[in-house]
Amino acid sequence: MPYKQGDVVLLPFPFTNQQGSKVRPGIVVSNSLVNQTSKDVIIVQLTT
């Protein structure tokens, strides 16, 4: 699935002790050209 810059996605982000994770929203910050040509996508976790 090709992601676009600004897309909001739900991902399992790990806890700080790495013993588990919780599904949280994140926003795609890498631009669409990079997302189409690379296997990597840069995502930032959204928090309150």
Q: Phi, psi (5° rounding) for residue 11?
A: -135, 150
Residue at 3 is within a domain: no
Global confidence as pTM: 0.75
User: What was the pLDDT predicted at 10?
Assistant: 94
Q: Total structural domains in the chain?
A: 1
Query: Which tens digits make up the pLDDT trace of 1-40?
Result: 688 899 999 999 888 888 888 999 999 999 988 888 888 8
Query: Which tens digits make up the pLDDT trace of 33-47?
Result: 888 888 889 999 998
Say how many C-beta atoms besides its own lie within 10 A of residue 37's C-beta: 7
User: What was the pLDDT predicted at 16?
Assistant: 84
Residue at 2 is within a domain: no
Structure tokens that stand for 34 in this block: 């990079």
Range of the domain at 14: 8-45
Structure tokens that stand for 11 in this block: 């991902």
Residue at 16 is within a domain: yes
